[in-house]
Amino acid sequence: MAFKIFTRKNEHINAEPEVLITRYGKFTFNVTATEKMRDKDIVKFTILFWDDETKIMGIRGVDSEDSAYPVYRLSPESRRKRFQISSIVFLRHIKIGEFYRLKLPVVWNEQEKLFTISFPEKYFF
């Protein structure tokens, strides 16, 4: 048997923008969503919005830290290809039920100038 050394390559996969949300409140956006955020502006903070009727979350990048959540790993020099925000308080506010992790699509809303994430009804109690 001839073993070969595995060489890791960081290849960009052409995927739709999406976010992985853990039950601990960490929102990790994939490479495609991060690139879209970078296209809009380099931001250091985000404001979170919630529409209770439609179960849609909004995320808008802002420069001011007033009532905002810090963005982790989003800078022009960053080697990381994803950005993250953390808010267990937000997940409690929207009364989402128990889950291990959710992977949901992210859509840019040009009219509102923010990213939107639709939460399926089955995750609420």
The Cβ of residue 18 has, within 10 Å, a number of other Cβ atoms equal to: 18
Confidence band, pLDDT 50/70/90 cuts, at residue 11: low
56 or 43: which carries more pLDDT confidence?
56
Closest CA to 75 of 105, 122, 98, 42: 42
Per-residue pLDDT tens for 19-46? 999 888 889 888 888 777 766 555 677 8
* Amino acid (one-letter) located at 84: Q
Amino acid residing at 96 = I
Q: What is the mean pLDDT of the segment spanning 7-14?
A: 67
List residues bridging with 115 in a β-sheet: 59, 108
DSSP of 73-125: S-STT-S-S-EEEE-HHHHHHTTB---SEEEEE-EEETTTTEEEEEPPGGGB-
Q: Is the predicted pLDDT of residue 109 greater than 70, yes or no?
A: yes
The pLDDT tens digits for 72-104 are: 555 445 555 677 888 888 888 898 877 778 999
pTM: 0.76
